[in-house]
Chains A and B, each alone.
Chain A
């Protein structure tokens, strides 16, 4: 009887310890993120008191100021355009390539496979300056011929580069999924007289939907949050949201005007948070399939 009581109390202490640990980490994440949301509706004078005081009212002007004066509205549209276009290009290019690489054996297919895999080791941070120089070079050439640049400050080109740098991971993930599909479907389609293109579009691509969703989710986060390429390749007016936020952070800190800065942070992270809450299960499961990090 005595022994049981002792067992109970160590068990209780163990449970207590577990929950204290879990809640500590959860608080260390919820509090700063939640604090940014609260700070985004504070008036400027409130930032001089204790950071723990709750907002006195909803000072929505911060958002208006961020959208209008700091151009975050334009940058939001740019981000949506670049992210959407990059996802579209990525899928159009990566899906057929992944399908062919996983289902067809031909001369050089092994080489191309390892070629794509090698791309997994190249990080954008290393090649951002050479890409900038290459575009600058093309622009200089164009200016000499036509009097105007084209490649820098171009949202379409930025989207194209986003898609290209995401290709190795995406093709790798998609083709490992295609490999698991049984070949019966292709054979059946072939007997029915469907050509290669028809088989791909109407039989194989629809079956790849689960992995396509994962690819879209991961790359959405990647493209939406990316800033070093956007910062380097878009020095002009068509900035994306994270770059706009960087500028906002520098400007607001210098002018000690904090509200719009936090409003800007909310604008950047809100879409990803909403998406994450909606699909978190797929994302954390899909991660173990891909098992890769930028």
Chain B
């Protein structure tokens, strides 16, 4: 019996120790380091670490470039979340409720952007947005809408929306599939009843579908916040490098530039801490204000 107990312990230990070791080494320690280093002034390869308390955060407060990356990130989060929700819900509703021919074909096609590397997406959208030989401007040219032609990645006023467009393009399919799976569990009889009462498709969507999948939509709101912060960094780093003139600098790209490219590690990590806390607080607020009673069906 003692032997059995020992062998059980041994088994458990062998199974979970490697995972715990790797997690600790490559996830926990670096995360703790982000917080610790944010309290130090550390000018890179000189290895001179000096404890400065919250000084990095005070500096951040006056850093116009950081404020700008903050604004850009918020614009992106709001724009990408709203546009993606509307488009993804719309198409999910069509593909689940309207009897569409070839619905699985559309589902497959819509999901493709999600499996592409962000680097490839950056390349595709550089080709789309190119001012002379770009696809977008040439489409406008074809329909004689030359006044709509833009320097999509060169004009500081609109470039952030060009980035947002690429992010929405990338995200639609993923969220559409998620909404489709929760829409599929709404009983068909509800729609039939509503239809007999004379409710149109729009009315059915807002009075039946939307309330019943609300829990799912709320969950995805948190995803939008986290993934937009992350993907906007990866896309911007690969497509615009934060330019022109810092007009597409976002949270984490600014952090990466400070911490890695400029080697001001402490300052960069302070940005990381602020972004980390910001995303949690934002997710909590969004979660709170979208809370509704869960409908059972």
Contact = CB atoms under 8 A, between A and B. Distances in A.
Interface extent on B, as a size class? 35 or more
Given A33-B112, A195-B7, A129 B268 contact: yes
B66 interface: no
Q: Is the interface of A mostly helix, strand, loop or mixed?
A: helix
Interface string B112-156: 110111111011111110000111001000100000000000000
B110 A127 contact: no
B246 to A, nearest CB: 19
B227 interface: yes
A273 B112 contact: yes
B210 interface: no
B172 A25 contact: yes
Contacts of A14: 98, 201
A52 B117 contact: no
Q: Is the interface of B mostly helix, strand, loop or mixed?
A: helix
Nearest to B241: A250
A128 B272 CA distance: 11
B196 to A, nearest CB: 15
A94 interface: yes
A287 B178 contact: yes
Given A39-B127, A106-B12, A227-B238, A25 B23 contact: no
B112 A265 contact: no
B109 A26 contact: yes
B234 A227 contact: yes
A134 to B, nearest CB: 7
Nearest to A288: B181
Contacts of B111: 276, 280, 283-284
Given A25-B110, A123-B230, A288 B91 contact: no
Given A127-B31, A133-B33, A280-B111, A164 B118 contact: no
13 contacts: A22-B106, A29-B169, A32-B125, A47-B133, A92-B18, A130-B33, A167-B19, A242-B120, A265-B123, A265-B124, A269-B116, A288-B181, A291-B178
Given A22-B106, A168-B27, 15 more contacts: A33-B112, A51-B135, A100-B12, A100-B16, A123-B230, A126-B276, A225-B115, A225-B118, A253-B126, A273-B112, A283-B115, A287-B174, A291-B178, A291-B219, A294-B227
